Amino acid sequence: MDIKTQKKNSSKKMNQKKIEQAVRLLLEGVGEDPERPGLKGTPQRVARMMEDILGGTQTDPVKDLEVFQDERHDEMVMIRNIPLYSFCEHHLLPFAGVAHVAYIPKEGRIIGLSKIARLVDTLARRLQVQERLTKQVADILNATLNPLGVMVVIEAEHLCMSMRGIKKPKAVTITSAVRGSFRTNPATRAEAMMLLKGGFPSGKET
């Protein structure tokens, strides 16, 4: 699904009643009694929780991305280890990990660091696949900032791989989306990879 389709879908409000009904059915479906004390409040609790954990579905990710002009800044900006929690749309199970986002400003156009973390958060709090989430973060930053380059790397553990199917806990899926000079300039890309691992291009390690 591209951003436009997702945006169009996102105009729909979340329907608490439908979620409650669905959870009740699910409980019945797995052979539980939705009326037993421990489960009585569960449909409402899950419905309220959905507002939070899938709330990005109703949020326009671009809205808050204010661009600043700072002529002095034309070097790489990288935020490492932005925590993320998202949902695999194939199994409705969480995947969780970190995002690393780097960009090189063009003509001094920069963006607040917290806005980048917010962008990751908004796009993660939807039904996703990791590949698309990675691409969306890169494409939105690319379109908003028109920078010299953007690189997004996401590392995540998928519960649908850990607790079901092939049952491989701790397996980490890594996806990347690379645009502009990160793609075309090997030195830039190498510098980014070095920073991403916590090193410094000069060889100094902390």
Site for Zn ion in 24-53 (CB under 5 A): none
Please give the structure tokens belonging to residue 128.
Answer: 């996703």
Q: Is there a catalytic annotation at residue 160?
A: yes
Burial of 90 (0-12, 13-18, 19+ CB in 10 A): exposed
User: Which residues does residue 156 pair with via DSSP β-bridges, in sequence order?
Assistant: 97, 173
Residue 32 or 157 with smaller CB distance to Zn ion: 157
Residue 2: how many other CB atoms lie within 10 Å: 10
Q: Is there a catalytic annotation at residue 91?
A: yes
CA 142 to chain centre: 16
Site for Zn ion in 150-189 (CB under 5 A): 160
Taking a C-beta distance cutoff of 8 angstroms, is the pair 77, 147 a contact?
Answer: no
Site for Zn ion in 91-110 (CB under 5 A): 91
Residue 4: how many other CB atoms lie within 10 Å: 8
Binding region for Zn ion (CB under 5 A) out of 29-37, 48-56, 57-65, 86-94: 86-94
User: How far is it, in rounded angstroms, from Cα 196 to Cα 151?
Assistant: 10
In the block, residue with structure tokens 């729909």:
12
For Zn ion, the binding residue among 8, 18, 36, 90 (CB under 5 A) is 90
Residue 88 or 123 with smaller CB distance to Zn ion: 88
Residue 56 or 105 with smaller CB distance to Zn ion: 56
Amino acid at residue number 158: H
Residue 127 near Zn ion by CB under 5 A: no
Binding region for Zn ion (CB under 5 A) out of 83-91, 113-121, 136-144, 149-157: 83-91
Residue 127 or 196 with smaller CB distance to Zn ion: 127
User: Which residues does residue 154 pair with via DSSP β-bridges, in sequence order?
Assistant: 99, 175
Taking a C-beta distance cutoff of 8 angstroms, is the pair 105, 171 a contact?
Answer: no
Residue 1 or 39 with smaller CB distance to Zn ion: 1
Binding region for Zn ion (CB under 5 A) out of 22-30, 81-89, 109-117, 165-173: 81-89
Binding region for Zn ion (CB under 5 A) out of 20-28, 64-72, 90-98, 183-191: 90-98
Minimum distance from CB of 53 to Zn ion (Å)?
A: 16
Backbone angles phi, psi at 67, to 5 degrees: -100, 130
Q: Is there a catalytic annotation at residue 158?
A: yes
CA 191 to chain centre: 23
Q: Which residues are catalytic, by number?
A: 88-91, 130, 158, 160
- Where along the sequence are the contacts to Zn ion (CB under 5 A)? 88, 90-91, 160
